[in-house]
Amino acid sequence: MLDLPEAPVTVEGDALRLEQVLLNLLQNAVKYSPAGGQVRLRVALERDQAVLAVQDGGIGIPAEALPRLFEPFFRAVNAEQHVLPGLGVGLAVVKEVVTLHGGTVTATSDEGQGSTFTVTLHHAMAPPLEVGKEPDAPAPSG
């Protein structure tokens, strides 16, 4: 499933490396989902940030594995139990590329229910961020 905004969401960066991030997250979502399972790709603009989220309904990640998920060569125990191939370097590369682009990557998951990986990068059309400064929070409504 593809969830895209009407207007393009652009980022500046190394197109090849950012493509590598997207492909890794999509390939993992497919690999860890059951045959015929659904993978959702969402792109959005949130508070001057480009957001890319990849969600699957796969095996999920045990809570105790989440803090180590982006470490090189780390694989969650349930991935090993399901005998799914991999070296454990893909998510480490994703984190490195995203970090080098000034962004963040996070993972949320419920074991047995699936996972969501969210990449946030500075939107190319937004004013530049000052190093070390968080983007402005949205104005309170009401």
Residue 138 forms part of a structural domain: no
CATH number of the structural domain spanning residue 9: 3.30.565.10
Residue 128 forms part of a structural domain: no
Residue 6 forms part of a structural domain: yes
Count of domains for the chain: 1
Per-residue pLDDT tens digits for 60-99: 999 999 999 999 998 888 776 665 667 789 999 999 999 9
Torsion angle in degrees (nearest 10) through CA of 23, 24, 26, 31? 130
Closest CA to 53 of 141, 100, 115, 10: 115
Under the banding of pLDDT at 50, 70 and 90, the label for residue 30 is very high
Instruction: Answer yes or no: is pLDDT of 124 > 70.
Output: yes
For the entire predicted model, the pTM comes to: 0.84
Residue 127 forms part of a structural domain: no
Evaluated on CA atoms 7, 19, 33, 109, the torsion sign reads: negative
Q: State how far the Cα of 123 lies from the Cα of 142, in Å rounded to an integer.
A: 27
pLDDT of residue 130: 60
Q: State how far the Cα of 75 lies from the Cα of 60, in Å rounded to an integer.
A: 12
Residue 98 forms part of a structural domain: yes
Q: Do residues 43 and 9 lie in contact, with contact meaning Cβ atoms separated by under 8 Å? A: yes
Q: State how far the Cα of 137 lies from the Cα of 63, in Å rounded to an integer.
A: 29
Residue 35: domain span: 2-122
pLDDT of residue 16: 97
Q: Do residues 119 and 107 lie in contact, with contact meaning Cβ atoms separated by under 8 Å? A: no
Residue 135 forms part of a structural domain: no
Residue 140 forms part of a structural domain: no
Residue 139 forms part of a structural domain: no
Q: State how far the Cα of 118 lies from the Cα of 107, in Å rounded to an integer.
A: 6
pLDDT of residue 86: 75
